[in-house]
């Protein structure tokens, strides 16, 4: 290579280096706007993710509450069926209520043995955690 070619190559290299350096020094309006859009999109994505997480947690909690309500309704039905199937118990005079697995028997029966029998039947039902026997003896 001759001196002129070396000079041209040096000039072109210098222009390239200066051009690249100028691009890094001051971002133009388009680059600034692009960065702002990227940041806004990233922030929005993060907020959407957080909101989705909160909604998911609330739905899980509501599902758990619904499951408890269904379980309580099922327990109440099973206790009523057990009492109804027992000869000698006046089922129309016994009320059954279940809250979070705790069964409350109320109303009246004709003897202590009937009260004890109703409590035993309720206790034997799957899912019953406790029986609150408020049956009155007539």
Q: For helices 112-123 and 29-85, what crossing angle results, to 10°?
A: 140
Those residues with Cβ within 8 angstroms of residue 91's Cβ, 6 or more apart along the chain or in another chain? 80, 83, 84
Residue 98 maps to a domain: yes
Residue 4 maps to a domain: no
Those residues with Cβ within 8 angstroms of residue 58's Cβ, 6 or more apart along the chain or in another chain? none
Query: Tens digits of per-residue pLDDT, 69-80?
Result: 668 889 999 999
Strands 102-109 and 130-137: parallel
Q: Please tell me the distance from the alpha carbon of residue 19 to that of residue 7, in angstroms, as a whole number.
A: 18
Our count of domains for the chain comes to 1
Residue 89 maps to a domain: yes
Binning pLDDT at 50, 70 and 90, where does residue 27 land?
low
Q: What is the average pLDDT across 39-45?
A: 70
Residue 126 maps to a domain: yes
Range of the domain at 89: 29-137
pTM score above 0.85: no
Residue 117 maps to a domain: yes
């Amino acid at each position: 290579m001759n001196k002129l070619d070396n000079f041209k190559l040096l000039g072109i290299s210098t222009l390239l280096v200066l051009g690249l350096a100028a691009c890094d020094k001051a971002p133009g309006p388009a680059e600034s706007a692009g960065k702002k859009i990227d940041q806004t999109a990233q922030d929005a994505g993060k907020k959407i993710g957080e909101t989705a997480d909160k909604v998911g947690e609330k739905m899980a909690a509501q599902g758990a509450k619904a499951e408890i309500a269904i379980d309580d309704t099922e327990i109440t039905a099973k206790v009523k069926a057990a009492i109804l199937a027992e000869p000698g118990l006046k089922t129309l005079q016994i009320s059954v209520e279940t809250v979070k697995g705790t069964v409350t028997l109320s109303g009246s029966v004709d003897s202590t043995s009937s009260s004890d029998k109703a409590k035993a039947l309720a206790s034997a039902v799957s899912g019953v955690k406790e029986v609150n026997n408020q049956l009155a003896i007539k």
